[in-house]
Structure 1
């Protein structure tokens, strides 16, 4: 089978018993960086030296068939450098190929920077979305944030410390200077820091320079306070752009808090 194993995101003490056992018995490990895997084996005192196969963003598509064929015959352990493979790390195409080939896929759960940042943020956790890294280029980043302006779920991002200040400035410009933001730095490590504030406040703070691994958690947008008639107008605008009435009603309901069925039936009467 294919075994996705979560590795520590900073503190080695977070390595699970199941991870250590799997590392100790694995004959084949596909990992994002084989050098990091060797360091992990040494740090955890694992003497096993399995066959290591590099699996990264550049070779995953080419390697998928080979690894699936191996996993059909014996267990293949899949690791990223930190956290859970597949989640903003290599592994998706491999899992997709394994599923298509009928090869069993399982996981050894463990540390996750996304869930750790969300949990300590103090922002709503009942509904959230993980958006990965924001685009590097300013124009593309602005467009991505503008598309998320009405997202009501809490949003979690990864960000480079070198781009953090610029990204937070764009968050303030596109989502609002007063939007609540939490920057989590070096999670589970000795210098862990969780800094909370508005987008504008944290953009100013980040101007001084920030180091380490960064997760950014952003408050979702508040529901719009509009009446049903206005909501129906917005639904019909989407319909005129080619969106199906059902989908348009669901989208406006999500943004405004109005009832999806109410919007659908009122728009249907207006068509």
Structure 2
């Protein structure tokens, strides 16, 4: 176990499907923890039982309780207790509860240690066969509305490999949206039920993906999408028009340039350079 002084937060990765993937260090950390903060006490209780770990104090720590419970957990650490943070599966904080607590622990200069292990986005990425040197993790897309469309528009010009989480229920709809926002021949890998008995890696174009997944499959889904091979062609006239609109709305040169850069998928430097030429 890591040589961290009494009173610390341990960020513990748990299996994403296959119990055999849990590390010896993770088991030792859970065994010696004074408190385990978990997304679902029932599911974590079942995991502990399977690992032969009994009589542990669990505290519910999910998206609905993170803000309220983080102060209590920080107090426990300050009092010298070892707190293990886990989620239902994978690594805490990655599209799961934990980010706010980890930030608080760091801000207060308290002891912290990471127990690495299973990670769905990394597993999907390395199994995809798509470029791995540069990639971006988007997590879950907004379910609908302007924010969803703006993010899809931005991702369309992203040159790095893109990783997105999606529920099985919303998969068909999301694939259609991706096909409409990206080039329909862009390669995608749909990773389903990773590390489990019915693990599946479907590969093909976005267009073929929409035809293949006309109904919702079962299981946990990770999408790995090829990055854009070219930047969208945007004329200076279009950029200037967008900059003028942003300026007229009251935005500063910096904020206007940042907004237009995001909206049109161009560099901030180019946007700012054209802003300085505005009347």
TM above 0.5: yes
Question: Compared with structure 1, are the counterparts of its residues 237 and 220 closer, same or farther at alpha carbon in structure 2 (3 Å cutoff)?
Answer: farther
Please name the residue that 1:6 is paired with: 13
- The answer to whether the 8 A contact 1:9-1:113 is kept is yes
Q: How many residue pairs are counted as aligned between the two chains?
A: 263
- Aligned counterpart for 1:88 among listed residues 76, 80, 95: 95
Please name the residue that 1:20 is paired with: 27
Please name the residue that 2:198 is paired with: 191
Structure 1 segments unaligned to the other structure (5+ residues): none
TM-score, with length taken from structure 2: 0.83
Cα deviations by residue, 1:24-58 (Å, 9 ceiling, x for unpaired): 21221111111111111111222x32211110111
Q: What displacement does 1:101 show?
A: 1.9
Please name the residue that 2:105 is paired with: 98
User: Residues of 2 paired with 1:59 and 1:114: CA distance?
Assistant: 25
User: Residues of 2 paired with 1:159 and 1:138: CA distance?
Assistant: 16
**Pairing 1:53–2:59 present:** yes
RMSD of the TM alignment (CA)?
2.9
Please name the residue that 2:181 is paired with: 174
User: Residues of 1 paired with 2:159 and 2:141: CA distance?
Assistant: 18
Q: What displacement does 1:267 show?
A: 5.8
Please name the residue that 2:166 is paired with: 159
Q: What displacement does 1:182 show?
A: 0.9
Structure 2 segments unaligned to the other structure (5+ residues): 1-7, 248-252
- The answer to whether the 8 A contact 2:41-2:59 is kept is yes
Question: Compared with structure 1, are the counterparts of its residues 223 and 244 closer, same or farther at alpha carbon in structure 2 (3 Å cutoff)?
Answer: farther
User: Residues of 1 paired with 2:210 and 2:28: CA distance?
Assistant: 43
- The answer to whether the 8 A contact 2:191-2:202 is kept is yes
- Aligned counterpart for 1:78 among listed residues 85, 90, 97: 85
Q: What displacement does 1:208 show?
A: 3.6
- The answer to whether the 8 A contact 1:183-1:214 is kept is yes
TM-score, with length taken from structure 1: 0.85
- The answer to whether the 8 A contact 2:170-2:216 is kept is no
- The answer to whether the 8 A contact 1:187-1:193 is kept is yes
Question: Compared with structure 1, are the counterparts of its residues 189 and 141 closer, same or farther at alpha carbon in structure 2 (3 Å cutoff)?
Answer: same
Question: Compared with structure 1, are the counterparts of its residues 255 and 141 closer, same or farther at alpha carbon in structure 2 (3 Å cutoff)?
Answer: closer
